Amino acid sequence: MPLLFELARADPATAAAQLEQAWAQQRLVALAGPGQQGDLDQALGGASGEMAALARFGAAVVVGSGGSAGERHWCLQPLAHLQASAEATAVWLAAAGLEPAHCLHLNPLPLHHVSGLLPLVRARHWGGELRWLAPSLLRRPDDLPQACPLPRDRPVLLSLVPTQLARLLASPEATAWLAGCAVIWVGGAGLPAPLAAAARRAGLPLAPCYGATETAAMVCALPPQRFLEGAAGCGHPLADVALRLDGATGAVEVRCSRLSPGRLVSGQLLPLPLQPGGWWRSGDAGLLGSEGLEVLGRLDGALHSGGETVFPERLEERLQEQAACAGVGHDALLLLARPDPEWGQQLVALVRPRQGGDWAVLLRDLQGLTAAWPPAERPRHWHLCPTLAPTAAGKWERGRWQSWLDSLEAF
């Protein structure tokens, strides 16, 4: 049976030491975040012959994936796959003129996410230094420069999700601190256009990236210099990765040697469903162009309205950008779908106003910004949602908010 780590209150340095000790003993470790222990227990399914057979993978981890559409997968990743991912990232850094072993890697992300697990593996694989940043510190961005002064004698690497980046950019002190980093990988969710524009104005060395738990994290990343020059998207694939698009759906497909051996369901390891040739089809639609991969949005979040395929995530970015330019302030915005007998589906907007703001004026202004949009892309209904927010990792649990919308419209 694997070791089970429930990381809701665990100190990350202590948890990392326990994890590395287990790996040194060639153990399989399962990592659960806050509120995930029950789901993980169900996925592991007790002491079965199949679970015992997982010992053949040696040092490995079971970590959660997905959740954006309300369904979580529990993926197995051998340590060797995580190390292969770290090696590919080292090649990417070397191409940018950075020596991986000389870098300091700062990590504010939790270990039970693959994006928080990889900084540990990278630092150990490269021989570099890892320093943990408490999530509470990122909620006090003005304190960052004093609490974590950046060294002047070596490059600093940082991994963030867009929610964290937005919080730091709201502080001049934290923004200046970010500018001292050599690379700021931003992933886990789409980078909104207004946030990207603000980062460029501040001269921040962002490297938008794309990956998944199933691929042992990052499979492509845009170099910071290209980001600062205005390039969009997530860059070209890393050295050990091939990307392509499914011709029928536009789904991003990945082929590499570090794909997860499978997902755990009720104690059974179910191999990833692969296309001929070993291609894994993600749940994201994308485009491949001169700058590499551009992610359009989740296919399970796409809707079909009046014969058009609409990606709400792209429309959210567009509306956020227009709202920022027009000075229309709000704290959160999410576009979902509702059935329509004529159109098939139509968009509905959920909005969380800023505290003390005039919500009637806000809705009027947002509706005005979308009045000239194509009919299939224009939200037809608007709802105030005071609790609307993404997860701590910056992902939208669209299934959860769709249920909220369905319950609201049931009355």
The helix-helix angle for 359-370 and 312-326 (nearest 10°) equals 110
Residue 93, number of CB atoms within 10 A of its CB? 23
User: What span, in angstroms and rounded, lies between the C-alpha atoms of 311 and 297?
Assistant: 6
Residue 35 included in any domain: no
Residues 6 or more apart whose Cβ sits within 8 Å of residue 374: 308
- Pairwise CA distance, residues 294 & 277, whole Å: 23
Give the global pTM: 0.82
**H/E segment holding residue 165:** helix 162-169
Residue 284 CA, chain-centre distance (Å), reads: 12
Whether residue 70 lies inside any domain: the answer is no
Per residue in 81-129, pLDDT tens?
999 999 999 999 999 999 999 999 999 988 888 999 999 999 999 999 9
* Same domain for 308 and 228: no
Residue 30 within a domain: no
Same domain, 183 and 196: yes
Domain assignment present for residue 12? The answer is no
* pLDDT < 50 stretches in the chain: 8, 47, 67-70
What does the DSSP 8-state code read for residue 218? E
Question: Is 320 within a domain?
Answer: yes
* pLDDT the model gives residue 49: 53
DSSP track, 22-61: HHHTT-EEEEE-TT-HHHHHHHH-SS-HHHHHGGGG-SEE
Structural domain boundaries enclosing 231: 79-262+273-298
pLDDT at 358: 87
Q: Give yes or no for a contact between 104 and 129, defined as CB atoms under 8 angstroms apart.
A: yes
- Would you say 191 and 169 are in contact if contact means Cβ atoms under 8 Å apart? no
Q: Are residues 226 and 245 in the same domain?
A: yes
The dihedral through the CA atoms of 39, 42, 43, 46 has a sign that is positive
**Mean pLDDT, the chain, integer:** 89
What is the CATH classification number for the domain harbouring 360?
A: 3.30.300.30
* 190 lies in the same domain as 327: no
- Total of domains in the chain: 2
Contact call for residues 270 and 263 (beta carbons, < 8 A) = yes
